[in-house]
Amino acid sequence: MKDNVRRLIIDRLLSEKKVVSFDELQEVLQVSAPTVKRDLRYMRDILKAPIVYSRNRGGYLYEERPQTDISHPKRLFAVQQKEWYSAEELYVLVKTIDLLGQLSKDESSAIFSELEPLRARVSALLDLGGISPRELLGRVKVVDHSPLHTEPPTFETVGAALCEKRRLQIAYFSKIRRTDSFREISPVRMVHYRSRWYVDAYCHASEGLRTFAIENIRRAEVLPRSAKRVSIREIETELDKSYGLFHSGELKTALLVFDEEAAPFVRRQIWHPKQKMITAGGGVKVSIPYTNSTELIGEILRWGIHVKVEGPVELRREVCECLQKTLCQYDR
């Protein structure tokens, strides 16, 4: 069980039962006594949770004190050491609150009753700087995370098969051929990428790892057969080796040269973990591993006149063809 999951369970036990013994915490979490002590210490010292031990009541509980009370020495120490959030902290907090708010609109959610209390707890962390969390949220906006979209009912079936380590029989719709194909797959990973959910799976028909858009899975049935075991390292090696989500084909390296105007923005962009950047005059040259050019071409076209494809030759040709077809749209 991950650290953050254990701490959420501790928080829920303390909130619901009011008083929880050490033995009960250890029994529920199924971890060693030192691990429980470490979690409690982390929640008190780092998360500033007002957890105290009551000898009379025989367990741990949340100490009740006014929200405005800052006389607690640990609380005062925290304010003295850090007066406001780092850029990463603020981004994560606001993004989390936004996403929890979007999810709480779905009353059919499996954790619907927990969402608003959880959102309130995260919002309460925005208490630095002397203004209320509500006012601060009105003054901070995060616009670069993917919105939540409704997925088909097969999403839950895919998730269940992944957790149960079972194979799936799916009817997969091809947007190119406009037909369904029936496949038996072993789900190995779910990925949220650019507003859509995908499942990485071992396809028993093609005998290899493939990525399927869940929105294109028309029907899905969990089979009694156990899924093929694939290690995380094998998944990452096979499916994360190139730019974008499409991985068929030979691994190549794209060489893109950005001009001086685009360079400051490109230097802060991560296209791929194994990308390389070097200064080229006032601009920057970027090398990006890829196998399928579909998404890469779309990204290149987005930069317009500020980028030039230096290689390979076939990628230059594909980009030129796309630009010519685009220009023809305006010659009619």
CATH code of the domain in which 191 resides: 2.30.30
Domain assignment of residue 246, yes or no: no
Q: From 66, 81, 96, give the residue that closes a domain.
A: 81
pLDDT of residue 147: 64
pLDDT of residue 300: 92
pLDDT of residue 30: 86
Task: Enumerate residue ranges in the chain where pLDDT < 50.
Answer: 67-81
pLDDT of residue 60: 92
Instruction: Encode pLDDT of 75-84 as tens digits.
Output: 333 333 455 7
pLDDT of residue 270: 80
Write out the two tokens for 236.
């990452």
Write out the two tokens for 274.
């194994």
Q: How many CB atoms lie within 10 A of CB 69?
A: 9
Q: From 173, 206, 239, give the residue that closes a domain.
A: 239
Determine contact, residues 26/36, Cβ cutoff 8 Å: yes
Domain assignment of residue 197, yes or no: yes
Q: What percent of the chain has pLDDT over 90?
A: 26
Domain assignment of residue 302, yes or no: yes
pLDDT of residue 69: 47
**Residue 221 to residues 2, 29, 141, 183, 215, Cα–Cα distance (Å):** 30, 33, 41, 11, 15
- Which residue pairs from 179-184 have beta carbons closer than 8 angstroms and sit at least 24 positions apart in sequence? 180/218, 184/223
Q: What is the DSSP string of 256-286?
A: EEE-TTTHHHHTT--S-TT-EEEEETTEEEE
Asked if residue 231 and residue 279 are part of one domain, the reply reads no
Asked if residue 228 and residue 169 are part of one domain, the reply reads yes
pLDDT of residue 77: 32
What's the gap between Cα 45 and its chain centre? 27
pLDDT of residue 216: 92
Q: From 200, 217, 239, give the residue that closes a domain.
A: 239
Pairing state between β 217-226 and 196-203: unpaired
Residues 116 and 249: their CA atoms lie apart, in Å, by 46
Asked if residue 104 and residue 74 are part of one domain, the reply reads no
Count of domains forming the chain: 4
Asked if residue 170 and residue 115 are part of one domain, the reply reads no
pLDDT of residue 74: 37
What's the gap between Cα 79 and its chain centre? 30
Determine contact, residues 76/43, Cβ cutoff 8 Å: no
Which residues form the domain of 216? 154-239
For the chain, the residue count is: 332
* pTM of this prediction exceeds 0.85: no
| CA dihedral for 178, 195, 197, 100, sign (positive or negative) | negative
Domain assignment of residue 148, yes or no: no
Domain assignment of residue 121, yes or no: yes
Residues 8 and 96: their CA atoms lie apart, in Å, by 15
| CA dihedral for 10, 12, 13, 19, sign (positive or negative) | positive
pLDDT of residue 186: 94
Asked if residue 206 and residue 167 are part of one domain, the reply reads yes
